[in-house]
């Protein structure tokens, strides 16, 4: 098997093996280098205009996880997992444009005129709150999925959670108005395998060319 085939096989296996795990080996602390790799992998997700519409709130302190537990309706993976990542979407990601494009212009990789055109395009789109919200949730979700795949590749398991009181979360964790909660993701070592979950057939989920 060629190296390319080997990489392909491994990637496809990670995608196939990823399942939501709700029971973790309690008390396991994720090494700092693993956590940093996990976050770095999430940060490499694609995003509209490369604005990177996400903020990742890392909750690993046990007292903070205990505070989160009732907000997440008592789901035990909150306190048993090694870390909980709250994925937030950036409603003001347009403010990242200069940070993203400025270095490319300074380095000679992008003409300033192109940057100016992109910034004008972005600001035009962000006049509409629904666009800002849609982009925040869409792009933060890409980072969330990439984080979960990276975790599986590193030997960890995850569970994405939408079942929590978002308003209470914002209040208790002092989330600025700039960010909208998208999901919580528990990450840790599985205490027991995830139960198999059925999937709809390709015929049920795909349409060829047009409805």
Q: Where are the domains of the chain?
A: 20-193
**Class of residue 160 by CB neighbours under 10 A (exposed 0-12, middle 13-18, buried 19+):** middle
Report the pLDDT value the prediction gives residue 8, as an integer from 0 to 100.
84
* DSSP E strand stretches across the chain: 54-59, 83-90, 157-161, 179-188
pTM: 0.93
Report the pLDDT value the prediction gives residue 9, as an integer from 0 to 100.
84
Q: What is the mean pLDDT of residues 10-24?
A: 90
- Of 2-6, 24-28, 42-46, 69-73, the poorest mean pLDDT is in 2-6
pLDDT at 2 over 90: no
Question: What SS3 class is residue 40?
Answer: helix
Pull the structure tokens for residue 82: 């090694």
Report the pLDDT value the prediction gives residue 131, as an integer from 0 to 100.
98
Pull the structure tokens for residue 110: 């992008």
Q: What is the mean pLDDT of residues 162-169?
A: 98
- Which superfamily is assigned to 20-193 in CATH? NADH Oxidase (3.40.109.10)
Q: What is the mean pLDDT of residues 37-46?
A: 98
pLDDT at 198 over 90: no
Report the pLDDT value the prediction gives residue 88, as an integer from 0 to 100.
98
Report the pLDDT value the prediction gives residue 134, as an integer from 0 to 100.
98
Q: How far apart are CA 88 and CA 90, in angstroms?
A: 7
């Amino acid at each position: 098997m060629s190296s390319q085939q080997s990489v392909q096989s491994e990637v496809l296996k990670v995608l196939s093996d990823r399942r939501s795990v709700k029971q973790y080996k309690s008390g396991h602390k994720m090494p700092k280098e693993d956590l940093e790799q996990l976050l770095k992998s999430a940060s490499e997700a694609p995003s509209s205009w490369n604005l990177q519409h996400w903020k990742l709130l890392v909750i690993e302190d046990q007292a903070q996880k205990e505070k989160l537990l009732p907000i997440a309706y008592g789901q035990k993976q909150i306190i048993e997992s090694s870390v909980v990542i709250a994925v937030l979407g950036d409603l003001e990601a347009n403010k990242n444009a200069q940070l993203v494009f400025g270095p490319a212009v300074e380095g000679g990789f992008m003409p300033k005129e192109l940057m100016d055109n992109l910034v004008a395009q972005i600001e035009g789109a962000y006049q509409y709150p629904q666009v800002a919200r849609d982009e925040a949730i869409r792009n933060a979700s890409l980072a969330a999925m990439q984080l979960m795949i990276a975790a599986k590749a590193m030997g960890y398991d995850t569970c994405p959670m939408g079942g929590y009181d978002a308003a209470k979360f914002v209040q208790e964790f002092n989330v600025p108005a700039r960010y909208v909660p998208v999901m919580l993701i528990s990450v840790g070592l599985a205490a027991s395998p995830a139960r198999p979950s059925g999937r709809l057939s390709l015929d049920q989920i795909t349409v060829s060319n047009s409805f």
